[in-house]
């Protein structure tokens, strides 16, 4: 079988799943969750996976010699792998994404790590502070984005030549992850960030003002060049963006506006600061950016159970993360039925490849009970999975444990 036929066979298998009644039902259920229907079945999704541990799996072995076709092959193999082994409520887009080609000059600043001799390959690092004072803020430059529609069209045409009679090939833009404090942490280091909030609050305000200015301009450029992503098949911080609302169904792919889009953001380093400080140095600065978008998915690994009142200041927030370190009862009570909870189960419970059954069941039951009492729509989003000790079957077993609690609770 030649490269072209390999990709076409995989595209047919993918299409069979993407256009199935089961997939359509999953998409509709996500729409109910994101429309704040507390009676909707809690969906389950897994993302940010340890793909390096699955590399030797037969289903993931790419056979194409042509690099372009090999990329297409890899996309199909990875998506089908997820469906077959731990698909849960993953919704495969009913098209093949052709990511729009663009140039981005960046912020004019980069991450610099400290000398890490003997620390190669580590997952954690120490960083050299690139923004120590006002003079260093001059390093921050306007991000210039330039669309390359001719290159996008060339790639799309080649993709369509291979699979166009099987799947639509759709140009796809950017889903924004607006976690500015995550970037600052890589530029300064965690400890330097926290000390700056205490010792140099005025400097932090000037830094945030400059970075928000850059980000707003960046979004303006993306919108003007139709480089944003929205609508069917798009994911926002790992979760599906289907919404059972007319304005979502009427998105014009030729002219996507910020109000058509989801945006996700967080200030994970602020897990260590008070609600008042989180409000002053994150929410108040970022609110003008978040409020431009149709829907906001807020939070990540930072516990927000004591901060729902400040998150409420974001006028279009729709879903809020509940990290493994969250007091889920407190957060569900604070959210009520006003937002969907994106519950992040503890990935440590799958680290050995065999789910820690008692811990998984306890965590799931507590979440379901709290959300049912408070009429809070909830989804289970297992992510940041560093290891499963090479045993992919453990993820499917985790899904079955959580599913059983949802169905029998």
Does residue 7 register a pLDDT over 70? yes
Distance CA 350, CA 346 (A): 8
Q: Are the CB atoms for 381 and 297 separated by under 8 Å?
A: no
Given this model, what pLDDT does residue 358 score?
98
Distance CA 274, CA 242 (A): 33
Mean pLDDT estimate for the chain: 96
Mark residue 231 as left, alpha or beta (left: phi above 0; alpha: psi -120 to 50; beta: remaining): left
Given this model, what pLDDT does residue 166 score?
98
Q: Is residue 1 very low, low, confident or very high in pLDDT (cuts 50, 70, 90)?
A: confident
Backbone angles phi, psi at 182, to 5 degrees: -65, -40
Give the pair of three-digit tokens for residue 398. Answer: 């985790």
pLDDT tens per residue, range 105-134: 999 999 988 866 666 666 677 889 999 999
- Domain positions in the chain are 3-408
Paired strand residues for 96? 169
Distance CA 278, CA 208 (A): 13
Q: Is residue 267 very low, low, confident or very high in pLDDT (cuts 50, 70, 90)?
A: very high
- In words, the CATH class of domain 3-408 is alpha beta
Distance CA 197, CA 192 (A): 9
* Largest Cα span, the chain: 65
How many CB atoms are located within 10 Å of the residue 24 CB? 13
Distance CA 286, CA 301 (A): 18
Strands 145-147 and 102-104: antiparallel
Instruction: State the burial class of residue 56 (Cβ atoms within 10 Å of its Cβ: 0-12, 13-18, 19+).
Output: exposed
SS3 27: helix
Given this model, what pLDDT does residue 272 score?
86
How many CB atoms are located within 10 Å of the residue 114 CB? 10
The pTM of the full predicted model, rounded to 2 decimals, is 0.95
Does residue 192 register a pLDDT over 70? yes
Does residue 156 register a pLDDT over 80? yes
pLDDT tens per residue, range 53-109: 998 899 999 999 999 999 999 999 999 999 999 989 999 999 999 999 999 999 999
Distance CA 242, CA 94 (A): 13
Among 194, 294, 184, 197, CA closest to 241:
294
Does residue 174 register a pLDDT over 90? yes
How many CB atoms are located within 10 Å of the residue 345 CB? 23
Question: Which residues does 61 contact at the CB level (< 8 Å), separation at least 6?
Answer: 77
DSSP 301: S
pLDDT tens per residue, range 193-224: 999 999 999 999 999 999 999 999 999 999 99
Distance of CA 17 to the CA centre of its chain: 22
Distance CA 346, CA 355 (A): 11
pLDDT tens per residue, range 9-23: 999 999 999 999 999
Q: Are the CB atoms for 30 and 240 separated by under 8 Å?
A: yes
């Amino acid at each position: 079988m030649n490269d072209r036929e390999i990709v076409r066979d995989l595209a047919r298998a993918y299409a069979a799943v993407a256009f199935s009644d089961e997939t359509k039902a999953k998409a509709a259920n996500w729409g109910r969750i994101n429309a704040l229907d507390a009676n909707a079945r809690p969906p389950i999704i897994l993302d940010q996976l340890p793909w390096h541990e699955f590399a030797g799996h037969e289903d993931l072995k790419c056979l194409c010699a042509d690099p372009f076709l090999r990329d297409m092959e890899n996309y199909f193999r990875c998506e089908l792998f997820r469906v077959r082994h731990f698909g849960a409520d993953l919704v495969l887009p009913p098209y093949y994404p052709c990511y729009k080609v663009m140039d981005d000059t960046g912020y004019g600043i980069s991450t610099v790590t400290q000398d890490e001799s003997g620390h190669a390959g580590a997952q954690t690092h120490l960083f050299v502070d690139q923004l120590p004072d006002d003079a260093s803020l001059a390093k921050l430059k306007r991000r210039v984005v330039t669309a390359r529609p001719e290159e996008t069209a060339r790639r799309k045409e080649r993709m369509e030549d291979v699979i166009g009679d099987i799947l639509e090939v759709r140009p796809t833009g950017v889903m924004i992850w607006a976690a500015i404090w995550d970037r600052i942490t890589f530029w300064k280091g965690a400890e330097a960030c926290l000390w700056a909030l205490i010792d140099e609050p005025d400097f932090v305000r000037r830094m945030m003002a400059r970075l928000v200015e850059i980000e707003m301009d960046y979004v303006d450029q993306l919108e003007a060049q139709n480089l944003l992503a929205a609508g069917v098949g798009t994911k926002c911080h790992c979760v599906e963006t289907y919404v059972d609302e007319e304005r979502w169904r009427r998105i014009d792919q030729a002219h996507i506006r910020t109000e058509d889009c989801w945006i996700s953001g967080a200030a994970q380093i602020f897990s260590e600061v008070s609600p008042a400080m989180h409000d002053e140095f994150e929410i108040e600065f970022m609110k003008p950016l978040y409020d431009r978008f149709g829907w906001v998915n807020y939070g990540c690994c930072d516990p927000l159970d004591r901060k729902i009142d400040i998150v409420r200041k974001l006028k279009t927030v729709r879903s809020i993360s509940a990290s493994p370190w969250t007091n889920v009862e407190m957060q569900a009570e604070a959210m009520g039925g006003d937002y969907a909870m994106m519950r992040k189960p503890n990935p440590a419970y799958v680290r050995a490849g065999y789910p820690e059954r008692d811990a998984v069941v306890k965590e799931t039951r507590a979440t379901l009970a709290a959300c049912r009492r408070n009429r809070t729509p909830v989804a289970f989003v297992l992510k940041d999975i560093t290891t499963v000790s090479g045993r992919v079957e453990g993820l499917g077993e985790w899904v079955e444990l959580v599913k059983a609690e949802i169905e029998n609770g």
